[in-house]
Amino acid sequence: MIVKSAEYVQSVTDWKKCPSPTLPEYAFIGRSNVGKSSLINMLVRNNKLAKTSSKPGKTQTINHFLINKDWYLVDLPGYGYASISKAMREKWQKMINDYLVCRENLQLVFVLVDSRLEPQKIDIDFINGLGESGVPFSIIFTKTDKLSASKVQGNVQRFKNKLMETWEELPFMLLTSSETGKGRDEVLQYIEEINTNYSSNKQFKNEI
């Protein structure tokens, strides 16, 4: 997929105020400070599209970006933020959960995981929650340029082993680096494949 255009559409705190669900949608989420905004900017090759910050919790709304006038990229608030109040944390969690469960045109959630770390309980719990809610997802390992390839593979394998304790089949996984552009083509190709199926299914339903 060639990204020809990437436009900011809107930011909301209620999924019911999201754009009309006429286009396929892909959400990006991860533990706070996992490198989500940098990854989004790398995918669309626009360093100013998603706001990056060294301070966790920069993203506080459901942010829609229209890509190629064909599909939505959605930037969701991170989870695991320790610097906000319990009330605000619960508010964000409800906002995210309502969106993930209720958004009818959501095709896939990309869960971002820091490849430098051992399996984190907060990531595992979030992934298990998606499974329990029947929300389709894939995993993107970020910051793979920060470690040697062997160490990255070791951490990824440990993450897989942890998931296999509760999952019969592992989700699709990708390795990326916002610094080097690693994984960009693979992520966009994966989205393009799903978009093709989405269009085919939509045309089939219209013909019935």
Q: What is the CATH number of the domain that holds 27?
A: 3.40.50.300
Q: Is residue 208 part of a domain?
A: no
pLDDT digits (tens, 9 = 90+) for 119-165: 999 999 999 999 999 999 999 999 999 999 999 999 999 999 999 99
Q: Is residue 154 part of a domain?
A: yes
- Contacts of residue 102, defined as CB under 8 A and 6 or more positions apart, other chains included, come to 15
Among residues 63, 58, 46, 54, which one has the least CA distance to residue 184?
46
Mean of all residue pLDDT scores within the chain: 90
Q: Is residue 196 part of a domain?
A: yes
Strand residue runs (E) in 13-148: 25-30, 62-67, 71-75, 106-114, 137-142
Rounded to whole angstroms, how far apart are CA atoms 111 and 170? Answer: 13
Domain region containing 112: 6-200
pTM for the structure as a whole: 0.91
Q: Is residue 108 part of a domain?
A: yes
Tell me if 110 sits within 8 A of 29, measured CB to CB.
yes
Residue 204 predicted with pLDDT over 60:
no
Mean pLDDT value across residues 57-79: 89
Q: Using pLDDT thresholds of 50, 70 and 90, give the confidence band for residue 50.
A: confident
Q: Is residue 206 part of a domain?
A: no
Q: Is residue 145 part of a domain?
A: yes
